[in-house]
Chain A
């Protein structure tokens, strides 16, 4: 009899646990990605300051990028969160969004948080001048992307000495982008075969060492799981941002690996 009662209790307990009304929904994500809202606002302000010089017709958005091959950013939710507020941000189907200035969020040192775990995704500024041909970026746009990205603290933070070449990037300010060949990674929409700078009659194909995160010079590139290009090695490229011989209107023509493209 006692055994039967115990069995009933266990069964009923199971049924109760499955009852939707009593379910406990855990919405907080353990170890979520976080970015400083203030830094992103500062990045947007820098965009407004520098736009006239580098990309007068461009608009700024921020972009979420998957860092792990199995991370989907479809339907990602993003919010600005502080002690007293939580402001949802609208993320477009291409995973871009904008940041608005909010006094309370600034005062409370808010964070920008997607519902994804740390290490599964990364961030970039996205500066686009409208009307460019397909598979073409504009060098001034990329220069401004780098400056805004650095100001906004979008590059993931790694322990000092951990990353070799990337250590030179961490902790740098927008001035880092003025170096002749900063190792600031850009990501194309598709896997890249070739990148060519074009200014009038002058054309220059970038060396393969400026593609794929420099993998052709680093035999251990496959083990470099800490670069934020991990899932997008084949989309990644550097450009000579600080080479003043290339004007801001220089076209950056991208040839993709596949026909989609």
Chain B
């Protein structure tokens, strides 16, 4: 009986001590780490990884990052859009 109690206690301990996954940083937090007029494509790639890239003949590029909706805690889907000037510097951002 004692052994069973110990086993239960251990299991309960394991259950309570299991590390919770860290919540993914949301896109608004991520964009605050970027500097409009300062960050380069390399900076952004290092901070956010690879996004969906649309490049235009003008030299401008749009990078898109998406975050799917999450049930708990309820978080709607979001998208981060970054605009790079032909010089490669981040010029505009928006989060939707």
Which residues of A are interface residues toward B (Cβ below 8 A)?
A: 69, 191, 193-194, 205, 207-208, 212, 215-216, 221, 233-234, 255, 257-258
Contact = CB atoms under 8 A, between A and B. Distances in A.
B57 A69 contact: yes
A234 B56 contact: yes
- Is the contact region of chain A dominated by helix, strand, or loop, or is it mixed? mixed
Contacts, number: 41
Given A207-B79, A212-B62, A216-B52, 4 more contacts: A205-B94, A212-B54, A234-B56, A257-B83
Interface string B39-64: 00000000000001010111010101
Question: Chain B interface: which size bin?
Answer: 10 to 19
B79 A234 contact: no
Most buried by B among A69, A255, A257: A257
Contacts of B81: 193-194, 208
B57 A221 contact: no
A216 B92 contact: no
A193 B92 contact: yes
Given A208-B62, A215-B54, A193 B83 contact: yes
Contacts of A221: 54
Given A69-B57, A234-B56, A207 B92 contact: no
A190 to B, nearest CB: 10
Contact of B64 (A193, A194, A208, A233): A208
B96 interface: yes
16 contacts: A191-B60, A193-B81, A193-B94, A194-B81, A194-B92, A194-B94, A208-B79, A208-B81, A208-B96, A212-B62, A215-B54, A221-B54, A234-B56, A234-B57, A257-B91, A258-B60
Contacts of A194: 81, 92, 94
